[in-house]
Amino acid sequence: MHADDPVNWVSWSDGLLQQAQEENKLILISSGYFACHWCHVMQKDNYQNPDIARILNKDFISVKVDRELTPHIDDALIYFSDRVFGRAGWPMHVVLTPNGQPFFSFIYEKPTDLSTTLTRLVQAWHQNPQQITTLAQNALTQLKQESTNNSVELGHNWQEQADFLKGGFGSVAKFPNAPVLLKLLKDEAIRPNEEREEFLRITLDEMMSNHLQDPVWHGFYRYTVDPDWQIPHFEKMLYDNAQLIWVYARAAQILNEPKYQLIAKQTRDFLNQQMRLGNGLYRSSLSAMDESGREGGDYLWDETELLKHMDLATLKKEFTKLSTNEFTAWFASKPSKSTRKLLQRLKPFEMIPRDNKAILGWNALLLMAFEQAGFKSDAKHLKQALIKATQFPMVPRALIDNQPQGHATQLDLSYLKAALPDTLEFTPLKTQSAPFLHIQPQTDAFPTLMRESQLP
């Protein structure tokens, strides 16, 4: 994605610090992923801007990180930024001294602001290098102490964040939080607990009937930007959809609700149609940006275009007008069967930009979800593809065009071992840590099921 940027991007390597020290240059690490809307905006506004590139190429060593290939590095960046500056997200940027000590972070900035930020950082480093080094060392000392006791057990005190009116957790954006739902769906915990069962039914119904789920192609978006599940953030991730197949299949069994099994099947069909690769594995994500760089453009509709195919009454019955700071457009909220076919014909799913990475740990999650849902044929084919994908001297993090990329994390291996218990044996890995922070990472950036013993 960044191959043609005028910025002289490099990958993280063992010789990077030596180069930075010899040239006395700050290191800028930029971490993002293909489906991220603001990562695309950051690239368009800044990294394809020759003036920004000139500053970076002259005064920085610029490192590009795909967070999905090197989650331990991204984890450390997020951890540092959140703990020290109180903010984190993507695209994530952390600035390091030539010795590899982080001291500043930012997310998206407009070109004029970024130019000012970069210039001031360089001036501060050349004028007060010892002061910056001392501040960075003090921050790292505190972070190392915190990182020794950072485990979190999901599902405890869930009522404190639960929204009993609209379902889900929190009062701003709404994420599916599938691992917590799976924990709450334990059979023995539900039967005597009417409050928990009511919350689960509300949450599952709201997620499937509002705008977290794509009503045209099916599959779930990553989250909604509002607390009522109305305005989706349009990227679709494999790990979300895998876990939600698991959630709805289990809910269908435990709550005796056939409609939840239907949602699991629809999500399975979406994955097979839009995210399955030729090698039998499943790609990591579909982009929130359309080919022209518009957020949600593949899922939003212009009123004039729609009225060429339907009357105004049908439009108002089957569509909802969504408005944010970035767009105002019609969203198919309750399309009829004929309208779904029309929209699929007008915007075929092949138009949606997609990542071609197949992350093995996420595919292992999907295999377990298929088995939980009783999708035997899908599970059989995915299992065969996963076994083939792990036949390398060291298990890769992902395959791109059938070529290994990166190294599997401890969490990846845990998922693979759980999905293929009688097939594969993995040599335990020493926990990976970021080479520049020298602190233990958190988990992969998506929630872990392994901690909660949710595996079948």
Q: How do residues 57-87 score in pLDDT, each as one tens digit?
A: 999 999 999 999 988 888 889 888 888 888 8
Cβ-contact 232, 288 below 8 angstroms: no
pLDDT computed for residue 72 by the predictor: 84
Write out the CATH class of domain 160-287+356-425: mainly alpha
Q: Is 61 left (phi over 0), alpha (psi -120 to 50) or beta?
A: beta
Where exactly does CATH 1.50.10.10 map onto the chain?
160-287+356-425
Residues 6+ apart with CB under 8 A from 98: 17, 20, 21, 23, 24, 25, 26, 27
Strands 223-224 and 26-32: unpaired
Q: Mind listing the pLDDT tens digit for each residue in 363-388? A: 999 999 999 999 999 999 999 999 99
Q: Mind listing the pLDDT tens digit for each residue in 167-189? A: 999 888 999 999 999 999 986 55
pLDDT confidence band for 192 (50 / 70 / 90): low
Cα gap 132→196, rounded to integer Å:
50
Is 188 or 451 the better-scoring residue by pLDDT?
188
pLDDT computed for residue 447 by the predictor: 34
At residue 26, the 3 state secondary structure works out as strand
Provide the sign of the torsion angle of the four alpha carbons 453, 219, 189, 227, taken in this order.
Answer: positive
Q: What's this model's pTM, rounded to 2 decimal places?
A: 0.83
Amino acid identity, residue 123?
Q
Q: Mind listing the pLDDT tens digit for each residue in 255-307? A: 999 999 999 999 999 999 999 999 999 999 999 988 888 889 999 999 999 99
Q: Mind listing the pLDDT tens digit for each residue in 203-250? A: 999 999 999 999 999 999 999 999 999 999 999 999 999 999 999 999
| Percent residues over pLDDT 90 in the chain | 65
Is 2 or 426 the better-scoring residue by pLDDT?
2
Residues 6+ apart with CB under 8 A from 409: 71, 72, 361, 397, 429, 432, 444
Is 76 or 316 the better-scoring residue by pLDDT?
316
Q: Is 26 left (phi over 0), alpha (psi -120 to 50) or beta?
A: beta
Q: What is the CATH number of domain 16-147?
A: 3.40.30.10
Which helix (H) or strand (E) element contains residue 344?
helix 337-346
Where exactly does CATH 3.40.30.10 map onto the chain?
16-147
Cα gap 79→74, rounded to integer Å:
8
Mean pLDDT of 435-452: 40
- Residue 96's DSSP bridge partners are 27, 102
pLDDT confidence band for 114 (50 / 70 / 90): very high
Token code pair at residue 184: 């709450």
Token code pair at residue 162: 């639960």
pLDDT computed for residue 189 by the predictor: 59
Start-end of H helices in 347-441: 360-373, 376-389, 410-419
| Percent residues over pLDDT 70 in the chain | 89
- Residue 321's DSSP bridge partners are 330
pLDDT computed for residue 431 by the predictor: 47
Cβ-contact 60, 25 below 8 angstroms: yes
pLDDT confidence band for 145 (50 / 70 / 90): low
Token code pair at residue 276: 């399955």
